[in-house]
Structure 1
Amino acid sequence: MADTVIRSGKTSPGLLASLTPLLREWLPRQRWFAGKGSPVTGFSLVAGTELLPVGSRLGLYHLLVRAHQGADPGDCYQLLVGVRETLPPRLAPALIGHVPDGPLAGHTVYDALDDTRPAEVLLEALRTEARIGVLRFERDHAQEIQPGLVPRRLTAEQSNSSVVFGDTFILKLLRRVVPGVNPDLELPLALARAGCARVPAPTAWLTADLDGDPGDGAAAAAGGEEPYVLGVLQPFVRGATDGWELALRELAKGEDFAAEARALGRATAEVHTALARALPTATLGQAQLVPLVDGMVQRLDAAAQAVPALRPYAPALRTAFTALADLAAEGRVWTAQRVHGDLHLGQCLRAPSGEWALIDFEGEPARPLAERRMPQPVVRDVAGMLRSFDYAAHSAVPPVPGWAETCRAAYCAGYGEVSGTDPRTDPVLLRAYETDKAVYEVVYEARHRPEWLSVPLSAVRRLAASDQI
């Protein structure tokens, strides 16, 4: 099984050059591509590994590709490229294109995660702890991985790609990747060690060690780069419904969601309590709050520049952040710890038993990895969930008056039952984090889903009009 490793900036031996025209058209259309709005000007191959030889009926390449956009050095993306002479109709939606020249001339390439055989290759590599080129497949030996599980790709839009194996495991492959410890593996491993059953324990994981392949001089000579976390295999919660779907279903039926919101608050607090036991915490005083508040203000100013509809509210929103700074100046301190980082209804699963589980600990992918791994007040996660209740309420037709407010109160009460502290008892901190989240949502919706912009703007109006949550 051949493999080549090309460091970013080196010249590809023909493979990437032949794929570049196809990737330039295909990559920006993917839901997980982060550089929408700017043309892709070129690619460089960070690493390439042949998992199945092209000479057989099906070829398979694992590629880490950096997409350049003008002067921007570009993000690195994980691609699984299948190679066939002709593509069967069932794989037509996965088409990348037909290669006219180069080492794959005359072949058709496609997103291989839609295909059964490539998914089976990944699971078997995880099961056997394979090492192929720079790729490292590792696992927890306390959990059994049965061979021959039938794969199916999940089709829901998301920032990554997931494959379910026999309703037993789910493999999430990160699409935009960076070197370093990814919280989507780090935190579930820590929670498993802490005995927290609210998060499925990682069964296996895939990394790329660009400095650890003794057979490749280019990789070894570069030195100093941390491994990339590329994917995590976890138990699949069979029959589970994600919180977003469940909330919309109950809204459509006119059913109350308060009991579920309360249970979800309790689950969130259990996860936070376990994370505080498993990983270091920190104290935030004025010295730590000043840069945190400055970041919130800077994000608000940048958002107001980018989205004109936000500008009339910016001065009032800024008071949410200055009020927090004022408390810090008076000597108030807060505890910070590792948190989920991007908590909302879609990141929660309700099992048929009624138990809630939290998933997807990657954090907001747009933020730098070091920032996503920093200790934060737990209110950051709480604010994300409160905003999610608001989104669900705005999705109902017709609207259900008071639904979001009831859920917010129930969630905070449930959280306080486990943690001992209801988040509403610190309204200044909660308002600051909910405002910061709403500002983020305004920019996101303006760029990606303009038809949803009214949802965060309604929250902005509420937050700007009040100095209380």
Structure 2
Amino acid sequence: MSEAATHSATAPVARPELLASLDPLLREWLPRQRWFAGKGRPVTGFSLVSATELLPSDSPVGLLHLLVRTHQPLTPALGALSHPSDCYQLLIGVREALPPRLAPALIGHLEDGPLAGRTVYEALHDARPADALLEALRTRADLGELRFERASGQEIGSDLVPRLVTSEQSNSSVVYGDTFILKLLRRIVPGINPDLELPLALAQAGCARVPAPTAWISAELGGETYTLGVLQPFVRGASDGWELALRELAKGGDFGAEARALGRATAEVHLALARALPTVTLGHAQMKPLVDGMTQRLEAAAQAVPALRPYAPGLRTAFEALADLAAEGRTWTAQRVHGDLHLGQCLRSPSGEWSLIDFEGEPSKPLAERRMPHPPARDIAGMLRSFDYAAHTHRPLVPGWADTCRAAYCSGYAEASGLDPRTDPVLLRAYETDKAVYEVLYEARHRPDWLPVPLAAVRRLAADATTP
């Protein structure tokens, strides 16, 4: 993406003073957002990448669409030396003053610049700007570098009341009349995002386990395409798998049948992805960088988290065993996978059908890495770890709950795919170990009280060289 400002609208958006006037407000507001990835490092400046006026800023309610690149020090040791960092999608509402209902959305009051005297705020809290986004998708609008596209044969009704989903983490979502949900990606990178790419491929493959994209927003910048948002059908009355599992735990219910059904759903998605997109064979040469990456992540995590160090030798055997199998001539089939599968990425409809959502992968990883093929065991390991997490949220701990769910999930997967993940224990253990190591590092940094959960798994995985 070019560092030069790319302006796509008339005054005041196209005037360079706009970003200068927003700068002090954004430095305070942006780091407080849950989706901001640069926490812990000061923001030293911004570059305007793209600016589009979606609603006139001199009207009672204005809407500015900005792509803004932050500048942050690479490391604290570099002090004020700042380098371009992440690019964020911002939707800025503009009003004379905010009504009380929009007070939580306040970014600040502009004292100078082209919008001097106006108030700016997070626009997604406001119905009028949210309506403007849906209308642009409905009409397939082209605004500057922004492209609002709609799938062939898909219709979008009008007069759908918007509401902001408040539980988002790495992105933002707006539900329209319990009919559609628009997911807006916050950290923007070049290339098609898997959260659009994979559901489109699955829709073309006839897989009903993933809501098919109805429409999407993209930007054309510097000869590259950037995915900005995806509109999909909203599953009314659905419960996500995490909430459902915790509910069953709380009332002493059995989650085994649901875990089995979820295993079948996962297998159906994997089979459809393998039909729709190329698969590759991983032999010794291909497995070496994969195993080396797992080992390097373990070493880095052990350096950062002292509690992990006693288990590192045992954990390393999981990766060594996989490398040994590859050296002996064993091969594996790799394909596109979900990449960040856990109970919270699964929805059960009121009719009992499971769907998989949020195919973005781990947002902290580069897009090219998120689009790499992996054995399906990567997704399976993520779900097995999620059952373990759910079990540990309940007190007292219910003995055997997670083990029952893990077994049922694998059995359901085998029913739909013809292949039981447990028949390749070395591969599954390596992926589950890699996931548990990631969890240890995450919890140590962000939720120290949760650290015992992955450490319990680490103890089991370090002690067991063959059984997942």
TM-score range, shorter chain: over 0.9
Q: Is residue 49 of structure 2 the alignment partner of residue 46 of structure 1?
A: yes
Query: Amino acid of the residue matched to residue 8 of structure 1?
Result: E
1:58 alignment counterpart: 61
Q: How does 1:80-99 map to 2 (within 5 A)?
A: 80-99=91-110
Q: Is the 8 A contact 1:289 1:328 kept in 2?
A: yes
Q: Is the 8 A contact 1:286 1:328 kept in 2?
A: yes
Question: What is the number of residues matched between the two proteins?
Answer: 451
2:462 alignment counterpart: 464
Cα deviation for residue 265 of structure 1 reads: 0.1
Cα deviation for residue 9 of structure 1 reads: 4.3
Which among 98, 112, 120 is matched to residue 123 of structure 2?
112
2:369 alignment counterpart: 371
Cα deviation for residue 397 of structure 1 reads: 2.2
Cα deviation for residue 451 of structure 1 reads: 2.0
1:20 alignment counterpart: 23
| CA deviation map 1:382-436 (0-9, x unaligned) | 0000011011011112221111110000000000011111101101000100011
C-alpha separation in 1, matches of 2:424 and 2:273 = 21
Q: Is the 8 A contact 1:42 1:67 kept in 2?
A: yes
Q: How does 1:75-224 map to 2 (within 5 A)?
A: 75-211=86-222, 224=223
Query: Amino acid of the residue matched to residue 363 of structure 1?
Result: G
Q: Is the 8 A contact 2:43 2:72 kept in 1?
A: yes
| CA deviation map 1:231-268 (0-9, x unaligned) | 00000001100000000000000101000000000000
Query: Amino acid of the residue matched to residue 436 of structure 1?
Result: D
C-alpha separation in 2, matches of 1:91 and 1:323 = 56
1:309 alignment counterpart: 307
SS at match of 1:234: strand
Q: Is the 8 A contact 1:340 1:381 kept in 2?
A: yes
Q: Is the 8 A contact 1:279 1:338 kept in 2?
A: yes
Q: How does 1:316-327 map to 2 (within 5 A)?
A: 316-327=314-325
Q: Is the 8 A contact 1:7 1:47 kept in 2?
A: no
Q: Is the 8 A contact 2:147 2:217 kept in 1?
A: yes
Query: Amino acid of the residue matched to residue 27 of structure 2?
Result: R
SS at match of 2:221: coil
1:391 alignment counterpart: 389
| CA deviation map 1:13-43 (0-9, x unaligned) | 0111111111111111111111111111111
SS at match of 1:227: strand
**Deviating more after overlay: 231-240 vs 152-161:** 152-161
Q: Runs of at least 4 residues of structure 1 off by over 3 A?
A: 9-12
Cα deviation for residue 440 of structure 1 reads: 1.1
Q: Is the 8 A contact 1:77 1:175 kept in 2?
A: yes
Cα deviation for residue 69 of structure 1 reads: 1.0
2:3 alignment counterpart: 8
1:245 alignment counterpart: 243
2:445 alignment counterpart: 447
Which among 280, 283, 286 is matched to residue 282 of structure 1?
280
SS at match of 1:346: helix
1:221 alignment counterpart: none
SS at match of 1:209: strand
| CA deviation map 1:105-150 (0-9, x unaligned) | 2211111011101110000000000000110000013121101111
2:78 alignment counterpart: none
Q: How does 1:329-348 map to 2 (within 5 A)?
A: 329-348=327-346
Q: CA RMSD in A?
A: 1.3
SS at match of 1:301: helix
C-alpha separation in 2, matches of 1:465 and 1:389 = 20
Query: Amino acid of the residue matched to residue 58 of structure 2?
Result: G
Query: Amino acid of the residue matched to residue 88 of structure 1?
Result: P
SS at match of 2:373: coil
Cα deviation for residue 437 of structure 1 reads: 0.7
C-alpha separation in 2, matches of 1:157 and 1:188 = 20
Unmatched runs of 5 consecutive residues or more in structure 1 = 1-5, 212-223
1:415 alignment counterpart: 413
2:9 alignment counterpart: none
Percent identical pairs in the alignment equals 80
C-alpha separation in 2, matches of 1:8 and 1:81 = 21
Query: Amino acid of the residue matched to residue 354 of structure 1?
Result: G
Q: Is the 8 A contact 1:250 1:256 kept in 2?
A: yes
| CA deviation map 1:74-106 (0-9, x unaligned) | 111111011111111111111111222111222
2:350 alignment counterpart: 352
C-alpha separation in 1, matches of 2:301 and 2:24 = 34
C-alpha change, 1:109 and 1:379, in structure 2 (3 Å) is same
C-alpha separation in 2, matches of 1:236 and 1:434 = 31
**Deviating more after overlay: 389-398 vs 350-359:** 389-398
Q: Is the 8 A contact 2:5 2:50 kept in 1?
A: no
Q: Is the 8 A contact 1:7 1:45 kept in 2?
A: no
C-alpha separation in 1, matches of 2:272 and 2:327 = 31
Q: Is the 8 A contact 2:207 2:272 kept in 1?
A: yes
C-alpha separation in 1, matches of 2:327 and 2:209 = 37
Q: Is the 8 A contact 1:412 1:422 kept in 2?
A: yes
Cα deviation for residue 317 of structure 1 reads: 1.0
Q: Is residue 107 of structure 2 the alignment partner of residue 69 of structure 1?
A: no
| CA deviation map 1:264-300 (0-9, x unaligned) | 0000000000000000000000000000001111111
Query: Amino acid of the residue matched to residue 130 of structure 1?
Result: A
Query: Amino acid of the residue matched to residue 179 of structure 2?
Result: T
